[in-house]
């Protein structure tokens, strides 16, 4: 690394320039302050010779540049930086302890139970805080140990405080359903699977049904004569057809992490080191207050913004993935996507518009209560 110095030259400025030229000393920058004063930038190794041959002028160093300048700056402010590092190290140690644990629940017995469980897992006041993975393990252990009492538990750290929220598990007896009901189709579909434990199955795999068709009847017949009525139970799955429209912009922006980062400080939102990167995100932020001053220290992680354009094939893959994700969320755990196919696509104003055909296998049966001898079905009370 080249080291440079900025010199302030007072008096005989023209002679100074001439003497440097004759001695083959490069002047990398000249800034005139007035007729008798100027600031010049030279290589550090030329400083002694420059000062020797320009004894008529008053020459002094006002600034270093390069490794030498960094060393001098650190040497001058070493104690200040040392104190800052020690303060932050001390603050980091202090703020790593938990001083309060708040358990939020209206049931005092449940609060006491959670407090005892936390203590057994090493979470108490004036003990070091756990990291996120440890808290997840502890949370799961507490739930596993109290499956009949706890439905849900969360442990959140706010600085030096743990906030515990819980939901009590209330076990209720399953009410036995009464009455008579058919299982009817909620969709136009092609039957793929039939499971039934009560009632008369009227369909089988491979049958096509319309919405409202009876799949499993609650009427038990012998030679076309109704002999009894039951609450039809079971599940019928079928392939259902959907069509979805989606628009995908072909132009996109993407953030790409460069891997470069640096440490920075802020005092009451005043940044200690000026911005080094054009695009960056603040991560691992830690904040404390000392005598009314809010001190934050964090890392700046640089990223680049890449502007690109999808090909039609890439846009089609993205569209199919988004449509599939939305459809799967709609189907939930009782359905799955069997097939996805683009029916048509067109590009308009750098946007590709697509029509996607989807085949989904899903639960299509729904209970429909009825009264024997009555034509009216109780669809309002169906599942």
Q: Are 265 and 364 in contact (CB under 8 A)?
A: no
Say yes or no to pLDDT of 249 above 80. Answer: yes
Domains in the chain: ranges and CATH: 4-74 (3.30.70.260), 97-168 (3.10.20.310), 177-250+310-383 (no CATH), 252-308 (no CATH)
Per-residue model confidence as pLDDT tens digits over 229-243? 888 888 999 999 998
Q: What is the pLDDT of residues 64-83, one digit of tens each?
A: 887 766 677 677 777 777 88
- Integer CA distances (angstroms), 188 to 218, 301, 354, in order: 21, 53, 24
pLDDT in tens, 167-216: 888 766 555 667 888 999 999 999 999 988 888 888 889 899 999 999 99
Task: Give the 3-state secondary structure of residue 44.
Answer: helix
Burial 215-228 (b: 16+ CB within 10 A, else e): bbbbbeeeeeeeee
**pTM recorded for the entire structure:** 0.46
Q: What are the tokens at 41? A: 């930038």
379 pLDDT band (50/70/90 cuts)? Answer: very low
Provide CB contacts within 8 A for 20, sequence distance 6+.
27, 42, 50, 53, 54
Query: Mapping DSSP to helix (H, G, I), strand (E, B) and coil, where does residue 69 land?
Result: helix
């Amino acid at each position: 690394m080249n080291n440079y110095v900025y010199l302030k030259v007072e008096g005989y400025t023209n002679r100074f320039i001439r003497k440097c030229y004759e001695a083959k000393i490069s002047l990398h920058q000249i800034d005139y302050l007035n007729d008798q004063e100027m600031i010049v930038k030279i290589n550090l190794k030329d400083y002694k010779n420059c000062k020797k041959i320009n004894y008529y002028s008053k020459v002094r160093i006002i600034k270093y540049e390069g490794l030498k300048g960094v060393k001098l700056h650190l040497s001058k402010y070493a104690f200040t930086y040392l104190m800052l590092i020690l303060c932050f190290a001390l603050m980091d140690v202090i703020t790593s302890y938990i001083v309060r644990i708040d358990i939020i629940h209206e049931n005092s017995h449940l609060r006491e139970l959670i407090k005892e469980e936390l203590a057994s897992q090493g979470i108490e006041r004036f003990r070091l805080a756990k990291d996120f993975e440890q808290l997840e393990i502890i949370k799961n252990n507490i739930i596993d140990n109290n499956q009949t009492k706890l439905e849900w538990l969360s442990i959140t750290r706010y600085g030096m405080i743990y906030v515990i929220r819980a939901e009590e598990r209330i076990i209720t007896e399953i009410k036995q359903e009464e009455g008579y009901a058919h299982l009817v189709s909620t969709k136009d579909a092609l039957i793929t699977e039939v499971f039934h434990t009560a009632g008369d199955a009227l369909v089988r795999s491979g049958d096509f049904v319309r919405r409202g068709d009876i799949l499993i009847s609650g009427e038990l017949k012998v030679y076309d004569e109704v002999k009894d009525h039951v609450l039809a139970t079971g599940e019928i799955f079928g392939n259902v057809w959907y069509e979805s429209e989606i628009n995908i912009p072909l132009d996109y922006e993407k953030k790409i992490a460069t891997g470069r980062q640096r440490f920075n400080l802020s005092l009451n939102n005043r940044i200690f080191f000026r911005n080094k990167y054009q695009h960056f995100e603040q991560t691992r932020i830690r904040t404390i207050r000392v005598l009314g001053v809010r001190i934050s220290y964090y890392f700046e992680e640089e990223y680049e913004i890449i502007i690109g354009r999808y090909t039609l094939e890439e846009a089609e893959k993205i569209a199919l993935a988004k449509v599939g994700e939305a459809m799967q969320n709609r189907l939930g755990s009782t359905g799955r996507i069997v097939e996805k196919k683009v029916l048509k696509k067109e590009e308009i104003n750098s946007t590709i518009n697509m029509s996607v055909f989807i085949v989904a296998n899903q639960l299509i049966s729904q209970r429909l209560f009825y009264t024997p001898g009555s034509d009216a079905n109780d669809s309002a009370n169906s599942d």
